[in-house]
Amino acid sequence: MNYIGKEMRRVDGYAKVTGKARYAAEFQIPHLTHGYILTSTIAKGRIVRIDTRAAEAAPGVIKVLTHLNSVKPVSDEVKKKGEDLSFRALVDDRIHFSAQPIAVVVASTFEQARHASRLIQVDYAAETAHTDFDALLGQAHDPTPDESPKPRGNPAAAFAGAKVKVEAAYTMPIEHHNPMEPHGGIGYWIGDTLTVVNKSQNVHQDREQLAGYFGIPIERVNVVSLFVGGAFGSCLRPNYYTFLLGAVSKAVGRPVKIVYTRRQMFSGHGYRPYYRVELGLGADAAGKLQAIRYRHVLNTSRIEAFNEAFFRNARSLYACANVEDRFEVVETDLPTPQAMRAPGTISQMFGIECAMDELAYALKMDPLQLRLANYAETDPETGKPFSSKALRECYSLAAETFGWSKRTPEPRSMRDGRLLVGWGMATGTWAAMQMPALARVVLKADGSAQVGSATADIGPGTYTVMTLIAAEYLGLDAKRVQFELGDTRLPKAPSQGGSWTTASVGSAIHGAAREIRGKLLELARQDGQAAFAGLDVDKVELADGRLQPIGNPDAGLDVAKLMRQHGLQQLDVVHESKPSAERKKYATAAHGAQFIEVKVDPDTGMVQVTRVIEATACGKIMNPLTSHSQEIGGVVMGIGMALSEGTEVDHRYGRMLNASLADYHVPVNADVHLIETMFVEENDTIVNPLGVKGMGELGMVGIPAAIANAVFHATGKRIRELPITPDKLIG
């Protein structure tokens, strides 16, 4: 391999550090105007009166749009039928959540629009809003009971008869994605065609929704998203401003830019919901699990059902014959939640992995040995073999590197001077998914290639890894490959989420390169090249600009010369990749092990994560440089979830309180110490032709649980409520 498995610097790195990378709100469009969103001050009710006259008379103001004069989505008829319940902005007088958009002021400058928005007078008929999850817990229900699996075995009886039991509840607060780049974009019409330059993880989905909103053919909508300054799931589906970009620009007849303020980021794109995870584990005296009883409750909005029951880790992580899992929701008068990095799985795993640690202490058993005693060699739910599973090797590598054998098990038994030292561990897992995806590959006679797919790059290095894959399988210098993404004029790709982008789009590029190889092989046959007689496409390869039989480079042909001989300036292929039928015979997942050291000040309760060793098994590593970066980023985000992140809600007003980066505490450099990430590679061509599994979500999954377990080891205090703040340790 010339490129796969070798470190490659980001191909877009220079553009990003020099400012040449153009983010959505940075595009320079002639005659650009600026829109500023005014939001509601109540959480529930309706608008009785909205007076915009003073705003309309303010300097620079072009137009003020409210529900009284805004463009109404044609697709509201779809919403009425219950087919799409997502929130629409400025469609009626109803208020569904605090800080809901109620007006957009359009002016010549941002400052003029913002000033004018403060001149709008609004009267409400307020209703009582209910946003307190705990107060509403009694109303929790399963929103899709017909889709929920039945218990496996007899969990109630098995739990009752278990020799050792653990029962506990774990809670996680609302969290916000807080990417560096605020959400926003620019919308403009040329005739009857709408173009939206947007911050997006799925431009084709944005396009389809906009076409439905305005009742126009999809071909008359273009969406562009070339660079994304972080997303973490916050742009997985169109946010309300996406429609406003089209509606407002249509109303004023000029391009309009709308960008959220940081405060509006807390009500404009969803959030990780509040979670309560209730667990009961029953085991025999040797630590073998006899029963797992699991209940997962999260909050949703009243206007749209949101649930994260798509992964059920309690049923598949450990070998156990008796499992019951329940997924329920509580309806609140808050905005609809949204997927956030490692959605569903990280909340489940926090509960499961903390409960496993509690069970290990109850059994007086090493936490790693307990996990090995319940290691699932095949999928416990389906009985299918794993396409690959190197979790055992991850445990071994990470434990040895960390020095786990030197741990003394008693809480408060390890110190560094006056600081309490704690060691904890956990397991991570994430489904190894692949989605249908299209990619275009154009191989040119000058020895270059253009490759394109309408995927996104929210930061993991998509530009780079797709360039790398194309260069590898086209046999070109990577500098001669140009990869394009983020434009609906390119072939359709799935959203960048779920850690499936490389498996999906990368497989499409791999397939397109194979088709190109087949076309070149046919040209060689037409020329009567004896070395290629009787060979099929999988018996030849492209390397260093040559088509050659595998293992016989001396018989190779110069590709550029071959194409010119046939009068071809380029070969153009659009390939669609789909999950293979073979995958259905196997369970497919990626796994990892996390070992963490914390140091706790016994007087102040301050916790520092001083050392993280993470070993991950996620198939073939395409680019170690960006792969390690992904895992380190996941660790840092896990540290934030464990120790500092949480959105406070004032339930009197249903409003997010700490809606700024000064008050919502994400980790900073001082919070991050030694992080070492390692990979145990797996040879797995069942998951996809490239043998890759997703890692972006996986790197975060076990971190909060491992930290919580380490904090208990350090202090003897079991904190089951995230984040683990000093008050919970010294109170």
For 296, other C-beta atoms within 10 Å of its C-beta total 24
26-62 as b/e, with b when 16 or more CB fall inside 10 Å?
ebebeeebbbbbbbbebbbbebeebebeebeebebbb
**By percentage, how much of the chain surpasses pLDDT 70?**
99
> If pLDDT is split at 50, 70 and 90, which confidence band does 74 have?
confident
Whether the predicted pLDDT of 378 surpasses 60? yes
d(CA 540, CA 237): 41
- The pLDDT value given to residue 645: 98
d(CA 481, CA 278): 51
> If pLDDT is split at 50, 70 and 90, which confidence band does 84 have?
low
Residue among 711, 704, 644, 699 nearest 671 (CA): 644
Structure tokens at 550: 């595998």
- The pLDDT value given to residue 270: 96
| Per-position DSSP letters for 119-165, written without gaps between them | T-EEEEEE------HHHHGGG-B-S-GGGSPPPBS-HHHHHHH-SEE
Is there a contact between 498 and 536 (Cβ–Cβ < 8 Å)? no
| Per-position DSSP letters for 360-383, written without gaps between them | HHHHT--HHHHHHHTB-SB-TTT-
Mean pLDDT score, 709-716: 98
Whether the predicted pLDDT of 142 surpasses 70? yes
Whether the predicted pLDDT of 446 surpasses 70? yes
> If pLDDT is split at 50, 70 and 90, which confidence band does 186 have?
very high
Residue positions annotated with a catalytic role: 697
Whether the predicted pLDDT of 78 surpasses 60? no
Residue among 143, 167, 144 nearest 155 (CA): 167
State the chain's mean pLDDT as an integer: 96
> If pLDDT is split at 50, 70 and 90, which confidence band does 1 have?
confident
Instruction: Report CA-CA distances (Å) from 77 to 88, 211, 221, 396, 468.
Output: 12, 14, 20, 57, 45
Residue 657 carries which DSSP code?
A: S
- The pLDDT value given to residue 611: 98
Whether the predicted pLDDT of 384 surpasses 80? yes
Mean pLDDT score, 546-575: 96
Residue among 309, 256, 57, 287 nearest 162 (CA): 287
- The pLDDT value given to residue 311: 92
Mean pLDDT score, 226-243: 95
Q: At what angle do helices 507-526 and 462-474 cross, to 10 degrees?
A: 20
- The pLDDT value given to residue 636: 98
> If pLDDT is split at 50, 70 and 90, which confidence band does 85 have?
confident
Helix (H) or strand (E) holding 252: helix 240-252
pLDDT digits (tens, 9 = 90+) for 108-132: 999 999 999 999 999 999 999 999 9
Is there a contact between 404 and 288 (Cβ–Cβ < 8 Å)? no
Whether the predicted pLDDT of 564 surpasses 80? yes
Mean pLDDT score, 74-100: 80
Mean pLDDT score, 149-166: 98
Residue 627: how many CA atoms within 13 Å on its side-chain side? 27
Residue type, 682: E
Is there a contact between 277 and 137 (Cβ–Cβ < 8 Å)? no
- The pLDDT value given to residue 82: 54
Positive or negative torsion for Cα 365, 368, 372, 378: positive
d(CA 147, CA 150): 9
Instruction: Give burial (CB, 10 Å; 0-12/13-18/19+) of 85.
Output: middle
Mean pLDDT score, 524-550: 94
> If pLDDT is split at 50, 70 and 90, which confidence band does 73 have?
confident
- The pLDDT value given to residue 83: 60
The residue ranges of DSSP E strands in 578-690, in sequence order, are: 589-600, 607-617, 649-650, 655-656, 674-679
pLDDT digits (tens, 9 = 90+) for 466-503: 999 999 999 999 999 999 999 999 999 999 999 999 99
d(CA 662, CA 182): 15
**CA end-to-end distance (rounded Å), the chain:** 57
